[in-house]
Amino acid sequence: MFELAETIMSTVSLKPLFCPCRTETSVHRFKSKAFKPCFVNCSSKFVVSHVKRFCNLRSPYSSPSTPAAASTDAAILESFQSADVFFDETFPITRTDKVEGKIFVRLDHGKDFNDQELTVGCSLSGKWILHWGVSLVDDVGSEWDQPPCDMIPPGSVPIKDYAIETPMQTSSSTSKGDAFHEVRINIKPNNQISAINFVLKDEETGAWYQHKGRDFKVPLIGCLKEDANIIGPKRGFSLWPGALGKLSDMLPKSEATYYEGQENRSQSRVPDQEKGQLEGFYVELPVIKEVSVNNSISVSVRKCSETAKNILYLETDLRGDIVLHWGVCRDDARRWEVPPAHLPAETAIFKGRALRTRFQPNENGRCSVLITLGEEFSGFLFVLKLNENTWLNSEGDDFYVPLPNSSGLPIENRVDQLEGMQREAKEDASEKASISAYTDGIINEIRNLVTDISSERSQKTKSKEAQETILQEIERLAAEAYSIFRSSVPTFPEETIVESEVAVEAETLTPPPKICSGTGTGYEILCQGFNWESHKSGKWYKELKEKAAELASLGFTVIWLPPPTESVSPEGYMPKDLYNLNSRYGSIDELKDLVKRFHEVGIKVLGDAVLNHRCAHHKNQNGVWNIFGGRLNWDDRAVVSDDPHFQGRGNKSSGEHFHAAPNIDHSQDFVRKDLKEWLCWLRKEIGYDGWRLDFVRGFWGGYVKDYMDASEPYFAVGEYWDSLSYTYGELDKNQDAHRQRIVDWINATNGTAGAFDVTTKGILHGALERCEYWRLSDQKGKPPGVVGWWPSRAVTFIENHDTGSTQGHWRFPNGKEIQGYAYILTHPGTPTVFFDHIFSHYHSEIAALLSLRKRNKIHCRSTVRICKAERDAYAAIIDDKIAMKIGPGHFDPPNGSQRWSSALEGRDYKIWEAS
């Protein structure tokens, strides 16, 4: 139907045909997908009745020589009842409708005459939350503060230190009997509070409602400065729904606003403008809420054995003047054409290339259409038209119904037979396709790096050393691709290939290419094996050992253990004697035993290496702690000179300062030599397979490359954690600068280590917390975090011992954790699961997600095709193996070469697998 779209646009003014214009009465683009739950009973009473009525009507567009439909009604009815069903399918239709209501704000005198009572209400159904705070007299701009305790209604929840969230209670209007939701706030006389600020949130949809794109502001004193968003008498108002989310639909500007003073209503409606409390008032503001409406259309196809005609019956629960816009096609190209008469009643020819038939009400309270078609057609195509601006289709495509041919087999059955014949060939090719997809990711990375280094701008801005690191990364990726190629080359029997002994010997002496330490095999799934409290028992190594088999069965391939060294802080992040491995988590022998156990169950082990800083053993002559003891007995030359707290005599720091302990100067040769020896000792003595590197913002990534080259880890990841970009407290859409800093650090390490994808975590926070799923796609339609730029080096996570646990420095949105895991465990990068989440009520859902990732062989370079990134939903297809959706909005995978089956489903997430 896309060929016909250009013609239709001139008539119905759609841009394009099935994307209606955004007007005040428009409905958003609808999406649906066919499935087969239950089929229409075509011999039921209402179908028979519809057939009788259809057969007694004559098409107004049939030629005079065409016999009337009434002459064949008995034959059609008899054939329809007796024929077998060849096609039965129900297409779900999920659309968005708009419901109008009102928000009202009333300021009255309270029970005590000196008190005031503010009532905020909404007439629309929903789970409404009042998100509010107060402005103080001396506040500047839009600053919020939490109100006094005596103002906070019961059931309220504090939001950080600046706001309150109060659920609205259902109430009834005594005048009209209308149900509405409201919150009442008792206001004591307080000369310090100048206004109450609020926004409304509907928790059912995640939508936020503001006043003119800003917070509502209710003045409590008459001298408050004139402001466009002030709610009060003699002011005009408008409301923008979703202004805290996606500002895409503007409400009508006609607004009913009126004022009723609580005293002397008939005499005056003007509040006291003098200093002091403002008089009472009442204001109404229109509000429009978008609601999801679920409908369906069922299509049944039967074939008359006598006339060989195909009889189609369509029925829908849609209400109103529904028009079926339809045509037929003769082959897989699906080109629309108009079939010859007989045509159903209420049918008009449109532009000579399509037909429009109005649905008729039937005895079942639904609407239906019955159509007869010849056997020369292979398919039936249609879309539905509700009005000039509302069209319904199937995931952006026309609805398509296959028709049985002369052989009596439906087209879909013939396709199934063909697929059955080709199944063996597809299975043989599946392994090659998996290898191809993986190597394609490597090739794309090489291309990006080549483009980066060859661009004119790059040559001007990048130093020779930076260009050299990019070239080395290209060499490393090429070696990895060659390794995969060599492993995929089939082996041949000895008699088919004759090689000289010299050639065979030369081949065996060639060492295999080394896999990069930043990625391991590319299929790693990382578990953080501790939290902030794990040291308290003193037996954590023993406790974790008991869980090794379970963690392996869940699918984890790598575990990250806590810092092993003696430490001033019990958690291990203030190391002192690096060679003393008796810590609060257990003894050195218990650590060795733990690592051995993980190796037995097939899990690699990462040590938490704190290289940025170290706590001293002794004071210098000035009483400053900067002299170290133990095996690494450094003096103050090992401390950077620009840290004023510790009076170091080294060079200036190559990164940011960690102010709680002396920052180590990695530019010193003796320091790097000692640290490389220590890392190699840990690899040999303990058996660590790689590293989690703490606070890598404190020193240059080039030093990390030196340490990785020396210790040769299987896998390494750095903690490069800094703040995302915000404007006036709101998370910016574009976080390219943030992820660029992380990518720059990875590049400085020459790709020898990955980095935790803090950008992705921060964007997930904003998307899930505020129902702003449009954040999950960048300007180029890629994932907006590090995983969108350098996926093989992105280690994704949603929580760790710092952000969650009992520290809670940056806790993931409560109740949304599984949505976060549904994202990172289906996407490229190397996902990390936090220990607290594994052994919690999320256990079964995380286990299912882990199994799905491994079953579909999703890896760090998997490809992502984002299908939807809108206010209420994000959806993507990964490697053409998995389709996923998070958010309350609707999504179904598009019809195509794959057939999708539901694999996992939970609160606001769903995942499909390609059959």
CA–CA dist 557, 689 (Å, integer) = 11
CA–CA dist 281, 230 (Å, integer) = 13
CA–CA dist 572, 720 (Å, integer) = 18
Q: Radius of gyration (Cα) for the chain, nearest Å?
A: 34
Given 577, 719, 757, 872, the catalytic residue: 719
CA–CA dist 545, 365 (Å, integer) = 64
CA–CA dist 871, 887 (Å, integer) = 9
The first and second tokens of residue 472, run together, are: 């080395």
Q: Catalytic: 719?
A: yes
Can you say whether the dihedral through the CA atoms of 635, 745, 442, 915 is positive or negative?
positive
- Which DSSP helix (H) or strand (E) runs through 379? strand 379-387
Longest dimension (CA), the chain: 116
Count the helix, strand and coil residues of the chain and give each as a percent rounded to the nearest 5.
25, 25, 45
Residue length, the chain?
915
Angle at 282 between CA 276 and CA 288, to 5 degrees: 130
DSSP state letter for 894: P
Can you say whether the dihedral through the CA atoms of 621, 626, 629, 635 is positive or negative?
negative
Q: CA nearest 799: which of 782, 818, 786?
A: 818
337 bridge partner residues: 328
Peptide bond into 342 cis (omega under 30): yes
Q: Catalytic: 97?
A: no
Q: Where are the alpha helices (DSSP H) in 165-219?
A: none
CA–CA dist 504, 506 (Å, integer) = 5
Given 608, 636, 665, 694, the catalytic residue: 694
Q: What CA–CA distances, in Å, run from 840 to 1, 292, 845, 847, 853?
A: 51, 33, 10, 11, 20
Which positions ≥6 away from 397 have C-beta within 8 Å?
894, 895
Q: What CA–CA distances, in Å, run from 258 to 102, 107, 222, 284?
A: 13, 13, 18, 7
Which positions ≥6 away from 303 have C-beta within 8 Å?
83, 84, 86, 309, 310, 311, 375, 404, 408
**What string of DSSP letters covers 335-347?**
--BPPPSP--SSE
Peptide bond into 662 cis (omega under 30): no
Alpha carbon 194 to chain centroid, angstroms: 40
Q: CA nearest 203: which of 151, 239, 270, 157?
A: 157
CA–CA dist 35, 893 (Å, integer) = 11
CA–CA dist 693, 529 (Å, integer) = 15
**What string of DSSP letters covers 522-565?**
S---EEE---TTGGGGS-HHHHHHTTHHHHHHHT--EEEPPP-S
CA–CA dist 537, 105 (Å, integer) = 55
Cβ(898)–Cβ(882) under 8 Å?
Answer: no
CA–CA dist 568, 364 (Å, integer) = 77
Mode of pairing for the β-strands spanning 239-241 and 216-219: unpaired
CA–CA dist 175, 332 (Å, integer) = 62
Judged on CB neighbours under 10 Å (0-12, 13-18, 19+), 315 is: buried
CA–CA dist 317, 395 (Å, integer) = 19
Active site residues: 694, 719
